[in-house]
Structure 1
Amino acid sequence: MTTAQFDCQYCTTSLLGKKYVLKDDNPYCISCYDHVFCNYCEECKEAIESNSKDLCYKGRHWHERCFNCAKCNHSLVEKPFVAKDERLLCSECYSNECSSKCFHCKKTIMPGSRKMEFKGNYWHETCFVCEHCRQPMGTKPLISKDSGYYCVPCFQKEFAHYCSFCKKVITSGGVTFRGEPWHKECFLCSGCRKELCEEEFMSRDDYPFCLDCYNRLYAKKCAACTKPITGLRGVKFICFQDRQWHSECFNCGKCSVSLVGEGFLTHNKEIFCRKCASGAETDV
């Protein structure tokens, strides 16, 4: 480059004997370089001139003096930091403000360390352990009981019930019948094998039956309407001389008045109120 050519690329002022900056092999005086190429600081919004250090993070720029934690204002130059919602935070402030707290030890789970999550709570990996064997749970299956967490082998050893039907462990839910535990899917009608966990049922000789099977196999039939008498939900029935009636069916055979709690007379297999029976041959 000749002396005549050694001018500022922007303002053409001679740079002989002056400070200058090369940009893409072209010389610029300090003033023009700052005017044309300098970045503006995210913090103070002022130009970062060529005589200042320009600190850049993800396309954003700061003066060295302005590159500080947004919370405690301590310098982040050559220190670890975290970007959170467009703010830069030192590790300590980020931990205090944004990191999860361990559900067990209540201490901060530091950024970068492994944490375990279960039912909306967080643990250090070393704090999330089986209540019984105290071994870390990791990603192994677990069962919760009384606010504690257990690995499957420990839960089975300490608490599990075994199904009366299949003899396998009941890990959740289940049905109790005659003091014995059952899986819901194992608690079946002894007649048709239908699941009973969501159904009304009756028992006979310590065996459960759905209503259809019980009525078909064992239920007494009403002498009036011939429908089964189950006695479910406290329904009352009348028993007389080895015959049964629904309460609402125990009526006079002539005038149909209810005989529940009333005196009555019989003639053959018919029952009558005293008034209707007074003119007929009766048997008390």
Structure 2
Amino acid sequence: MTTQFACHHCTSSLLGKKYILQNDSPYCVSCYDRIFANYCEACKEPIESDSKDLCYQGRHWHEACFRCSKCYHSLVENPFAAKDERLLCTECYSNECSSKCFHCKRTIMPGSRKMEFKGNYWHETCFVCEYCRQPIGTKPLISRETGNCCVPCFEKEFAQYCNSCKKMITSGGITFHDQLWHKECFLCSGCKKELCEEEFMSRDDYPFCLDCYNRLYAKRCAACAQPITGLRGAKFICFQDRQWHSECFNCGKCSASLVGEGFLTQNTEIFCRKCGSGVDSDI
């Protein structure tokens, strides 16, 4: 006695008919397509057993429906990329999504290596030193207005060195008496305080902070005894071996300013002509 060979679902005889095994059970083509067929993402129709089922990230397409969503060229056996669940050929993806090279302005194709620097992108072969034209890659570089420069070329072409530590100055720096310093190396010759954002004075070609200069070298006003620095265009008066701030150069009796006026002296006192009349003058 022969056991009937039938469809696992509809029990129709499969003798002499085409069938498909699923989990070791036979199904007629009609039942298989109705139960197991995937639906195409493009046309929404079932992908029947006599059609090729193309799968990508859990989604399915008929072979004829597997196309670029922008130009509609077939993606079968061609490279493609996904963007917001759309499939795009590499050309459409590049035109729509890829970065443009800052140097050659051409698209940086998907899958190719790109370099990023200061918010811009380059092809790896375009990101080169402006002098030796060698690719910089991930090596240290110096950025200039005209382009990027590898460290060896920068040292050869432009390097300036700190007058204090003798190391290269790559950016910024302070110039004093035609010599360069790193900001952190430009120090007061007295107390060694950084002077890069401080007012300072010079003595014998050495920089000093105001405190050190006033303590060591500044002349004192004959009236207020405070140092006379001459900073910010401040004026002062010299007479014989004495100095005054311009605002301190006043008559010792009536306190009138003597700047630009005639005056008389007696011992260490100075007087206007009116207050000094009748006083024996030292001059």
TM-score by length of 2: 0.90
Q: Measure the CA separation in 2 of the matches of 1:153 and 1:25.
A: 70
* Counterpart check, 1:160 vs 2:147: no
Identity value in percent: 81
Q: Measure the CA separation in 1 of the matches of 2:81 and 2:233.
A: 69
Q: How many residues in Structure 1 have an aligned counterpart in Structure 2?
A: 283
User: Residue 269 of structure 1 aligns with which residue?
Assistant: 268
Shift of 1:272: 2.3
User: Residue 81 of structure 1 aligns with which residue?
Assistant: 80
* Counterpart check, 1:35 vs 2:38: no
Deviations 1:126-151 (A, max 9, x none): 22222222222122211122322221
Which consecutive residues of structure 1, in runs of 5 or more, have no partner in the other structure? none
Deviations 1:129-180 (A, max 9, x none): 2222222212221112232222111111111112222333222211101111
Deviations 1:216-268 (A, max 9, x none): 11111111111111111111222222211112222222233333333332222
**Using a 3 Å threshold, how does the CA distance of structure 1 residues 281 and 21 change in structure 2: closer, same or farther?**
same
Runs of 4+ in 1 over 6 A off after TM superposition: none
User: Residue 56 of structure 2 aligns with which residue?
Assistant: 57
Q: Measure the CA separation in 1 of the matches of 2:43 and 2:261.
A: 100
Q: Measure the CA separation in 1 of the matches of 2:35 and 2:238.
A: 109
Q: Measure the CA separation in 1 of the matches of 2:62 and 2:47.
A: 6
1:86 partner letter: E
Q: Measure the CA separation in 1 of the matches of 2:193 and 2:109.
A: 54
Q: Measure the CA separation in 1 of the matches of 2:260 and 2:142.
A: 57
Q: Measure the CA separation in 2 of the matches of 1:28 and 1:46.
A: 20
Alignment of 1:122-201 (within 5 A): 122-201=121-200
Shift of 1:73: 0.4
TM-score by length of 1: 0.90
User: Residue 71 of structure 1 aligns with which residue?
Assistant: 70
Q: Which segment is superposed worse, 215-224 or 15-24?
A: 15-24
Q: Measure the CA separation in 2 of the matches of 1:248 and 1:2.
A: 130
Q: Measure the CA separation in 2 of the matches of 1:277 and 1:91.
A: 98
User: Residue 114 of structure 1 aligns with which residue?
Assistant: 113
Which consecutive residues of structure 2, in runs of 5 or more, have no partner in the other structure? none
Deviations 1:74-116 (A, max 9, x none): 0111111111221111122222222222222223222222222
Shift of 1:213: 0.8
Q: Measure the CA separation in 2 of the matches of 1:67 and 1:195.
A: 68
SS class of match (1:254): coil
Q: Measure the CA separation in 2 of the matches of 1:24 and 1:115.
A: 47
Q: Measure the CA separation in 2 of the matches of 1:36 and 1:256.
A: 113
Q: Which segment is superposed worse, 60-69 or 94-103?
A: 94-103
